[in-house]
Amino acid sequence: MQTLWRKTSELFWQHPVLWLPILIAAILQFLLLRIQQLMSQKIVAFFAEGARSVLGGPAEPSSDPYHAMMKAGLFAVPLSIGIYLLNICLYVTALLVVARLVQASLAGDALNLRSAIGEIVQTCRRSVLGISLKILAAFVFGFLLFVQVFQRFTPSTTISGRNVGYTFAIILSVIAGYILTPAVMRILLSFQPISATDLSRARWTVILGVVVSIVIGLFAQRAELSFFTASTYPSALQQWLMQIVGELFTALPYVPLSIALSLIAFGQHTLPSDSELHDS
């Protein structure tokens, strides 16, 4: 593992271009979440206002708020799931792009980000969607489980709901990372078998990277809260900048994680040809 992390650190600092796929995915995720929030608010407002008069008069508030929220949820929930799936696809794509760049570095070739993105987007769509759906299913199941645990656990304890949420997120991420790492490595290895030793190293790498990201995200949220509390009237631009910086720092651990997984896949094996990262 020491050799792996030494080589990972070397590539991390030697080739800043390896940072870009993950950081681009983080910025796009931030924008998509803002769009989701805006659209969800519009959906809720639409159903809360009720139907408009055929004569063009003002909308009358719904007489049954519960029923209105249920109808809004029928649209807002699929929207949220779709945005979450798209965000996962962005990060999986970023991982494969980093892997292609690491492969080029190990082969002594020039690192071309645009070429790597184009190749992965054109040739690995099915693989990206497949692993993304598995990740989504794991976290939807984990969220439903969290709701059940939260309802039973919180009333009988003095621990805050936020702390329970972060603890559960770490546990769920560790379990999901352990289970899903073989699927990720199969894509990197073009569905070739992986040794037990390499799989164990990959699992520890994923678990460490995910946990560090969650912890950084926790501190980033607290820093944002402190900033907004200290600022009497923070502008929308200030809020956006703070949130984007927080997203970037939270996503940063996925850069060495992606490099390390790529080294595990390519560093101990014969480098695959260009077609071997494509869909099987």
Q: What is the pLDDT of residue 17?
A: 95
Task: Give, in degrees to the nearest 5, the angle at Cα 193 between 187 and 196.
Answer: 110
Q: Are 94 and 258 in contact (CB under 8 A)?
A: yes
Total structural domains within the chain: 1
Q: Are 98 and 258 in contact (CB under 8 A)?
A: yes
Report pLDDT digits (tens) over 163-194.
666 777 788 888 888 888 998 898 888 778 88
Q: Are 20 and 113 in contact (CB under 8 A)?
A: yes
253, containing H or E segment: none
Residues contacting residue 217 through CB under 8 Å, at least 6 positions apart: 246, 250
- pLDDT tops 50 at residue 262: yes
Question: Rounded to two decimals, what is the model's pTM?
Answer: 0.82
Band (pLDDT 50/70/90 cuts) for residue 273 is: very low
Rounded CA-CA distance 252/247 in Å is 9
Q: Which domain holds residue 192?
A: 2-277
Report pLDDT digits (tens) over 80-108.
889 999 999 999 999 999 999 999 998 88
The SS3 of residue 107 is coil
The SS3 of residue 52 is coil
- pLDDT tops 60 at residue 238: yes
Residue type, 255: V
Rounded CA-CA distance 86/92 in Å is 10
Q: Are 22 and 113 in contact (CB under 8 A)?
A: no
Average pLDDT, the chain: 81
> Which DSSP category does 110 fall into?
-
3-state secondary structure 187-252: HHCCCCCCCHHHHHHHHHHHHHHHHHHHHHHHHHHHHHHHHHHHCCCCCHHHHHHHHHHHHHHHHC
Q: Are 17 and 260 in contact (CB under 8 A)?
A: no
Q: Which of 266, 270, 102, 262 has its CA nearest to residue 184?
A: 262
Report pLDDT digits (tens) over 125-143.
888 899 999 988 888 887 7
